[in-house]
Amino acid sequence: MVTNIKFRRSGVSFVEVLIVIGIIGILISLLIPAVQKIRAAAARASCQNNLRQMGLAMMMFHDAKDHFPPEGTSDDAKTEELPNLSYMPHLLPYLERESSIGL
């Protein structure tokens, strides 16, 4: 007695693999703009925090010295503390240590 036995393969076809790869590609292409928007929002929040810290440091400097820091980069503007520098070194003692302002 001879019987016909059909062997069934238990793998996936090439077309199925291509469909899965296509679906994954579409999902990734939908995810990339969302990630970029999140990064932009984080950068914007960081920048706003830095500007707020700069404003607070200016106000604290003004409260302590009754004038704003000199803008002085010229040779004529000499201060007793930090001559011929920008206003930023004057504000350093008034900035928070956790601030991410790149100086």
pLDDT tens sequence across 23-75: 999 999 999 999 999 999 999 999 999 999 999 999 999 999 998 888 765 55
pLDDT tens sequence across 11-20: 789 999 999 9
47 found inside a domain: yes
- Domain span including residue 86: 29-74+81-94
Provide the whole-model pTM.
Answer: 0.58
- Can you say whether the dihedral through the CA atoms of 22, 26, 29, 34 is positive or negative? negative
6 found inside a domain: no
37 found inside a domain: yes
69 found inside a domain: yes
Count structural domains, the chain.
1
* Distance of alpha carbon 21 from alpha carbon 7, whole angstroms: 28
Residues 69, 90: contact at Cβ < 8 Å? yes
Q: Is 57 exposed, middle or buried (0-12, 13-18, 19+ CB in 10 A)?
A: buried
64 found inside a domain: yes
